Chains A and B, each alone.
Chain A
Amino acid sequence: MILRRLRNWAVTLLPILVGLLLGLFLVAIAGSASGFSPSSVLQSLWEGAFGDQFAIAETLVRSIPVLMTGLGVAVCFRAGLWNIGAEGQLIIGGLSATALLLQIPMPTGLALLSGSLAGAVGGSLWALPAALLKLRSGINEVIVTLLLNFVAAGLLGFLVTGPLMEQEGSLPQTDPLPETARWTLLLLPTRLHLGLFFALLLALVLHFVMEKTVIGLDWKAYGASPESAKTLGIREDRVIWSAFLVGGALAGIGGAMEVMGATYRLYEKWSPGYGYSGIVAALVARLNAAALIPSSLLLGALTAGGLGIQRTLGLPPTLTWVIQACLLLPITLRLRPKG
């Protein structure tokens, strides 16, 4: 029994380790091509993620939106719905929260609550076209969700240079959120904020929903075999609507959290691709909501580490996307069609 459990752990962790090592190896090579020794590249990557209090805080802050989008992705993937649109849902979530909080001044508690709600509603609305088109016309959700990412990014670009542009000054960004609409900072002078615990709470709630409730079972059953699920009384339309609704809401809350906890304002290229990192995190966690906590931490560390190599060596932070892609490879190799 213990042996079997150990073997299961090894089978789960080994592909992640292989992907990580492969990615680090490639990044080290890329670094040496730019004239840096492999060890200095890896060192600044490490220090960017875990080097000091600031680095660790930054890792944690970056992992929050990854965790939230990862949860949203996990819900949909579990239901066999390939929602690639967490990035767009995150952006629209952030936009909705910002628009609301800049318009209506509110006391702290209410602001955080209504900002998160606005994020959830925005994210859901951005996911629902995929559900509608899939149910009505059988259009593949991958295409709809992916394209809506670009629409969302374009919309953000338009709004921060137009209607939502800051009142004073001429930068393409929104005004900062009022103090009352910001998550409490935990570890001054770092950016670590209380939203972290809200995200962890949501992860645990979602884990409970997925493992212990009928709706979680419905998602998984429909994902494993739509035909059997339908024969056994699971309503296809409810599965598709609810998965996109919840998935979009989680990513949207992630966007609201990012703006209320970390950036306080929106600007062009506001998300460095959290929604895509969320997909990687969800797959690394094998679509398990609880396992998403450590896996999004890993992705957060990579994002923070990427900033480290930019700061100390001047290498592009996007280099860490190589590692993210390498993490996916061994996992997608193991994924196989279910039927």
Chain B
Amino acid sequence: MAVSPVVQMFGIEKRFGEVQALKGVDLEVREREVHALLGENGAGKTTLMRILAGELGPDKGTVTINGQVVNRFSPSEAQKRGVGFVAQNFRLVPTLTVEENLSLSLPTKALCERAKRLAQELGWARGWDDEVASLSLGERQRLEIARVLAKEPQILILDEPTASLSPLEVEGFFSLLKGPAFDGMSVVFITHRLGEVAQVADRVTILRQGQKVGTFSGSTPIDRLAEMMVGPIEVRTNEQNRMKEPGQLLLVVKGLWVRSDRGTWAVEEAHLTVQEGEIVGIAGVDGNGQRELLEALWGIRPLQKGEVWLDGQPIQPHPSLWWTKGVAFLPPEPTRSLTFLSWSLKENALVRIRNRLSFLLDRRSASSLAEQWRSTFSIQADRIDRKVEELSGGNRQRWGIAMAMGLPARLLLLANPTQGLDVAGAAFVRRLILQKRDDGCGILLVSSDLDEVLDLSDRVFVISRGRLHRTEAKTAQEVGLLMGGVTVH
């Protein structure tokens, strides 16, 4: 294998307002290698790659692609030099169809056809005339990757490609990464999941707080990598599952049927209960009805058949009713559907407490709540009148979790609570979930992170093609098989 560098970045510095995002970072990417860029949220990974993709200009430092120094930083310039960038937040127009989205950025018919072929190689199973809004995150990602690959980049940057994928999808994605679609390319992929480094990366560069820790072989032991990524502090908690007798019955779901956006049955006859002081986990690959189930329970999607009971009484689910009854919801994409990006942290907190108010707003309580969340949830913002959109991705995610879990609740409905968080953030959220459980809160935990469901839950369901299956399985492997439709005996 050739080892000549295709990309060389030297002493890159970048400042956003008061934040020095990159403090003199070097990076070298070799031909045909898979290079992982590892670091926690806010370490500067995405910023560094946006510079390489020409979306940002560095304050200092040089970028060399194929031996030529880059002077002008623009996405089209970078594309000409063979750089393809798949951003974490996909740049797709949700109201247009798949086909239309492709032709938006791919000027010729041949390119579109190639993108479609690549999408199929990546396991595409949807129609070309489907609206992008109806696609799952994993499907959108496949589309986005195919679109970028169609331009045959020499260097492909993937920003957190596995963040929105379920475990099985991740496996599939990694085998693709080794496969023919990516042949001959140098791939840089941004991640904070240690396990992925060993799985696919030839080499790994670790960033911490805007500085490079070093570049290492992909076979470096995981615990070594973890140590270098998070620094000298001990972050892993002992997530012992303490059994405590569950209390009264809180939530009962009887024979729930819910339709998807496309009118097909997304959830078929779901039965489940949640008691005080227990965590009920629902594991499953994204797109098997989890979103629809939660949305119907929360009252933002019509439930076609079935009943929802709270405290032994049937109720008509509605968000405002749930909040006033002490039930809280963390939706699948909290930055989009639980927070107000263009608003300050304190105004966000104000909306969160509105259900307690009858007429007048209480800005003082909202401000102190925002301050409290900022410190409890380690939100990196200097003031609470910073807007959510000014925060980094991980901080936005944590802010969404604060909005959902930051006030006392009797019942929590959580969707992928640790998705997109770094090791420390995820550990914090898991601790918080267990603590809420021990305080007597009932929790419905829906997650595509299998280990998370198994680690935290007292009872486990698997959702597969809209059907809930109760399982006693204790290992990830067994449940994984169930999710794939294989029954274990």
Give chain A's interface residues, CB within 8 Å of chain B.
211-214, 216-218, 221, 224-225, 227-235, 338-339
Q: Which chain B positions have C-beta within 8 A of A224?
A: 340, 342-343
> How near does chain A come to B470, taking the closest CB pair, in angstroms?
29
State the CA gap A215–B352 with chains docked (Å): 14
State the CA gap A235–B322 with chains docked (Å): 13
Check: B354 CB closer than 8 A to any chain A CB.
yes
Which of the segments B166-174, B185-193, B355-363 contacts the partner chain? B355-363
Q: Which chain B positions have C-beta within 8 A of A213?
A: 359-361
Residue of B nearest to A208 (CB): B360
State the CA gap A233–B323 with chains docked (Å): 7
Contact assessment for B336 and A217 in the assembled complex, using a CB-CB cutoff below 8 Å: no
> How near does chain B come to A132, taking the closest CB pair, in angstroms?
20
Check: B480 CB closer than 8 A to any chain A CB.
no
> How near does chain B come to A64, taking the closest CB pair, in angstroms?
29
Check: B466 CB closer than 8 A to any chain A CB.
no
State the CA gap A233–B358 with chains docked (Å): 13
Contacts A227-B336, A338-B341, A338-B342; A232 near B323 (Cβ below 8 A) = yes
State the CA gap A235–B352 with chains docked (Å): 14
Of the residues A211, A221, A225, A231, contact of B319 by C-beta under 8 Å = A231
CB pairs A–B below 8 angstroms (28 shown): A213-B361, A214-B354, A214-B359, A214-B361, A217-B350, A218-B354, A221-B351, A225-B337, A225-B339, A225-B341, A227-B337, A228-B336, A228-B338, A230-B319, A231-B298, A231-B329, A231-B331, A231-B337, A231-B338, A232-B319, A232-B355, A233-B318, A233-B322, A233-B354, A234-B320, A235-B318, A235-B320, A339-B341
> How near does chain B come to A46, taking the closest CB pair, in angstroms?
39
State the CA gap A216–B298 with chains docked (Å): 24
Contacts A228-B336, A228-B339; A214 near B358 (Cβ below 8 A) = yes
Check: B104 CB closer than 8 A to any chain A CB.
no
Q: Which chain B positions have C-beta within 8 A of A217?
A: 350-351, 354, 361
Residue of B nearest to A227 (CB): B337
Total interface residues on B, using CB and 8 Å?
A: 30
Contact assessment for B340 and A228 in the assembled complex, using a CB-CB cutoff below 8 Å: yes
State the CA gap A233–B361 with chains docked (Å): 15
Chain A interface, >50% SS class: helix
Contact assessment for A233 and B340 in the assembled complex, using a CB-CB cutoff below 8 Å: no
> How near does chain A come to B110, taking the closest CB pair, in angstroms?
33
Contact assessment for A232 and B351 in the assembled complex, using a CB-CB cutoff below 8 Å: yes
Check: B300 CB closer than 8 A to any chain A CB.
yes
> How near does chain A come to B91, taking the closest CB pair, in angstroms?
13
> How near does chain B come to A226, taking the closest CB pair, in angstroms?
10
Contact assessment for B340 and A234 in the assembled complex, using a CB-CB cutoff below 8 Å: no
Contacts A232-B319, A232-B354; A212 near B360 (Cβ below 8 A) = yes
Contacts A212-B360, A213-B361; A234 near B338 (Cβ below 8 A) = no
How many A-B pairs have beta carbons closer than 8 Å: the answer is 73
> How near does chain B come to A237, taking the closest CB pair, in angstroms?
11
Residue of A nearest to B404 (CB): A231
Mark contacts of B343-378 with chain A using CB atoms, 8 A cut-off: 1 yes-contact digit, 0 otherwise.
100000011101101111100000000000000000
Contacts A233-B319, A233-B355; A214 near B341 (Cβ below 8 A) = no
State the CA gap A232–B323 with chains docked (Å): 8
Task: Give the residues from 296 to 335 in chain B that come closer than 8 angstroms, CB to CB, to chain A.
Answer: 298, 300, 318-324, 329, 331
Contact assessment for A230 and B323 in the assembled complex, using a CB-CB cutoff below 8 Å: no
Residue of B nearest to A230 (CB): B300
State the CA gap A112–B403 with chains docked (Å): 48
State the CA gap A259–B321 with chains docked (Å): 45
> How near does chain A come to B414, taking the closest CB pair, in angstroms?
13
State the CA gap A227–B298 with chains docked (Å): 13
State the CA gap A230–B336 with chains docked (Å): 12
Known: A214-B357, A216-B361, A217-B354. 12 other contacts (CB 8 A): A212-B360, A214-B360, A214-B361, A217-B361, A225-B340, A230-B319, A233-B318, A233-B320, A233-B322, A234-B319, A234-B351, A338-B341
Q: Which chain A positions have C-beta within 8 A of B403?
A: 232
State the CA gap A214–B343 with chains docked (Å): 16
Residue of B nearest to A235 (CB): B320
Residue of A nearest to B340 (CB): A224
State the CA gap A221–B357 with chains docked (Å): 15
State the CA gap A232–B342 with chains docked (Å): 16
Q: Which chain B positions have C-beta within 8 A of A221?
A: 340, 351
State the CA gap A224–B350 with chains docked (Å): 14
Residue of B nearest to A211 (CB): B361
State the CA gap A231–B320 with chains docked (Å): 8
Q: Which chain B positions have C-beta within 8 A of A231?
A: 298, 300, 319, 329, 331, 337-338
Q: Which chain A positions have C-beta within 8 A of B354?
A: 214, 217-218, 232-234
Q: Which chain A positions have C-beta within 8 A of B361?
A: 211-214, 216-217
Q: Which chain B positions have C-beta within 8 A of A230?
A: 300, 319
Q: Which chain A positions have C-beta within 8 A of B352?
A: 232
State the CA gap A235–B357 with chains docked (Å): 15
> How near does chain B come to A8, taking the closest CB pair, in angstroms?
12
> How near does chain A come to B296, taking the closest CB pair, in angstroms?
13
> How near does chain B come to A74, taking the closest CB pair, in angstroms?
17
- Closest 10 interchain pairs by CB? A233-B320, A233-B319, A227-B337, A233-B323, A224-B340, A338-B342, A221-B351, A231-B337, A233-B355, A225-B340
> How near does chain A come to B334, taking the closest CB pair, in angstroms?
9
State the CA gap A212–B366 with chains docked (Å): 13
> How near does chain B come to A35, taking the closest CB pair, in angstroms?
49
Q: Which chain A positions have C-beta within 8 A of B342?
A: 224, 338
Q: Which chain B positions have C-beta within 8 A of A338?
A: 341-342
Q: Which chain B positions have C-beta within 8 A of A211?
A: 361
State the CA gap A221–B324 with chains docked (Å): 18
> How near does chain B come to A172, taking the closest CB pair, in angstroms?
47
> How near does chain B come to A232, taking the closest CB pair, in angstroms?
5
State the CA gap A73–B297 with chains docked (Å): 36
Residue of A nearest to B329 (CB): A231
State the CA gap A211–B358 with chains docked (Å): 15
Q: Which chain A positions have C-beta within 8 A of B300?
A: 230-231
Q: Which chain A positions have C-beta within 8 A of B357?
A: 214
Chain B CB count within 10 A is highest, among A216, A217, A232, for A232
State the CA gap A227–B331 with chains docked (Å): 11
State the CA gap A130–B350 with chains docked (Å): 29
Q: Which chain B positions have C-beta within 8 A of A214?
A: 354, 357-361
Q: Which chain A positions have C-beta within 8 A of B358?
A: 214
Contact assessment for A229 and B360 in the assembled complex, using a CB-CB cutoff below 8 Å: no
Q: Which chain A positions have C-beta within 8 A of B298?
A: 231
State the CA gap A224–B387 with chains docked (Å): 13
Chain A CB count within 10 A is highest, among B321, B324, B342, B358, for B342
> How near does chain B come to A33, taking the closest CB pair, in angstroms?
42
> How near does chain A come to B234, taking the closest CB pair, in angstroms?
36
State the CA gap A81–B73 with chains docked (Å): 39
State the CA gap A78–B339 with chains docked (Å): 17
Task: Give the residues from 264 to 322 in chain B that come closer than 8 angstroms, CB to CB, to chain A.
Answer: 298, 300, 318-322
State the CA gap A230–B300 with chains docked (Å): 7
